[in-house]
Amino acid sequence: MFKLTFARKIMAAAACAAVLISPAQAAEKVYKLKLAETWPTNFGVFSEPARRMADLANKMSNGRLEIRIDTANKHKSAFGVFDMVRAGQYDMGHSASYYWKGKVPNTLYFTTMPFGMTATEQYGWFYYGGGMELMQKVYEPFNLMSFPGGNTGVQMGGWFQKEINTVEDLQGLKMRIPGFAGEVLAKLGANPTNIPPGELYTSLERRTIDALEWVGPSMDLRMGFHKIAPYYYTGWHEPGTELQFLVNKRTFDKLPGDLQEILKSAMRVAAYDMTVKSHHESGQNWATMKAEFPNVQVKSFPPEVLAALRKANDDLLAEHAANDELAKEILDSQAEYMGVVRQWTDIADRAYLNSFE
């Protein structure tokens, strides 16, 4: 739902009453769109894509696209973004696809998957490997369009109060880890819990929980976990978390062609820019963490633990694929794409990074 207004007085029309509406005049209409974010106000790099997109769209359209952004502090419905955009209460949303898995199970696969693709690999799948088409297939029935909305890069495995040396160490582990990764851990005997962000620090400090995952240094620094947990584990569960722009299809269809193109490019730049900015911020923030708390230890799960996690993940995904034809189509597409592209990543990025030291 959006409103049409006139941006400026059309001087030609004012001077000559009998004039027809010209294409130029039609091009003066201002389209006011509203966007709902899942994020609260000032939520670090997560807050950037919507603002970057709105600013670019405004400048490129010479003011014909005005996009107002409401954070969750305003609309009070962080996880209602899907429904609000679907209903047309908002024209757009900025969120993450996997939040809708309880509502539409196949939305799970368009954010990131444990042991899955990195950001670059996944952009390749989206844009050149059929991913966008599959995502659209999932969102179409809901009058929604979904676009990449910025990537966090590899998320860290989390902050731990104790070391994980064997699969047995996961038994009874109380860890804040929501969503699908929590299901994977639960298969190995861990107790995944969900705790409101505002209570996480105290819960970890008082050992109400043994561990938690958040994002990575880009978002973790402000949470202060490095002050109270000795171990920072490397990532396995969210190797390239892509956020999401949602657009109400009816809103989009009513926009003139040039504004549709402007909107799409603005979202695309904003998404890519967040991906780069996340890496940048994590670099800067990781340096700050180490300077403040040099004793933080980076650990990786031992191969045995990773193998068990991978098996649990594979088993869960096999269940998903067996139960739903479209899930199978998506998962097969991802597995096939990654099977090819990772072999290149290994001799390119991995070999290069490993050539140091």
Stretch that binds a copy of itself, among 53-61, 184-192, 220-228, 325-333 (CB under 8 A): 53-61
Determine if 4 is a binding residue for a copy of itself (CB under 8 A).
no
Restricted to residues 258-277, the positions that interact with a copy of itself (CB under 8 A) are 258, 261-262, 265-266, 268-269, 272-273, 275-277
- Please report how the helices 325-345 and 131-139 are oriented relative to each other, as an axis angle in degrees rounded to 10: 150
Q: Which of 5, 74, 128, 140 binds a copy of itself (CB under 8 A)?
A: 128
Of the two residues 207 and 280, which places its CB atom closer to a copy of itself in the complex? Answer: 280
Nearest to 43 by CA among 88, 96, 84: 96
Restricted to residues 61-100, the positions that interact with a copy of itself (CB under 8 A) are 61-62
Range 8-17 contact pairs with CB under 8 angstroms and sequence separation of 24 or more: none
Determine if 132 is a binding residue for a copy of itself (CB under 8 A).
no
Nearest to 78 by CA among 49, 113, 112, 41: 41
Of the two residues 202 and 234, which places its CB atom closer to a copy of itself in the complex? Answer: 234
Contact 121, 342 (CB under 8 A): yes
Of the two residues 81 and 309, which places its CB atom closer to a copy of itself in the complex? Answer: 309
Restricted to residues 9-38, the positions that interact with a copy of itself (CB under 8 A) are 10-13, 15-16, 18-20, 22-25, 27-28
Of the two residues 57 and 81, which places its CB atom closer to a copy of itself in the complex? Answer: 57
- Cα separation, 339 vs 336, whole angstroms: 5
Restricted to residues 107-126, the positions that interact with a copy of itself (CB under 8 A) are 115, 118-121, 123-124
211-212 and 297-299 beta bridge pairing: unpaired
Contact 170, 185 (CB under 8 A): yes
Q: Min. distance of Cβ 76 from a copy of itself in angstroms?
A: 32
Determine if 335 is a binding residue for a copy of itself (CB under 8 A).
no
Determine if 249 is a binding residue for a copy of itself (CB under 8 A).
no
Backbone torsion region of residue 158, taken as left when φ is above 0, otherwise alpha when ψ lies between -120 and 50, otherwise beta: left
Q: Min. distance of Cβ 208 from a copy of itself in angstroms?
A: 27
Contact 289, 226 (CB under 8 A): yes
Determine if 223 is a binding residue for a copy of itself (CB under 8 A).
no
Restricted to residues 170-199, the positions that interact with a copy of itself (CB under 8 A) are none
Binding residues for a copy of itself, total number by CB under 8 A: 84
CA distances to 35, 91, 92, 271, 304 from 84, in Å: 10, 8, 9, 22, 44
Restricted to residues 300-329, the positions that interact with a copy of itself (CB under 8 A) are 300-301, 306
Determine if 291 is a binding residue for a copy of itself (CB under 8 A).
no
Q: Which residues pair with 307 in a beta bridge?
A: none
Contact 273, 52 (CB under 8 A): yes
Of the two residues 4 and 353, which places its CB atom closer to a copy of itself in the complex? Answer: 353
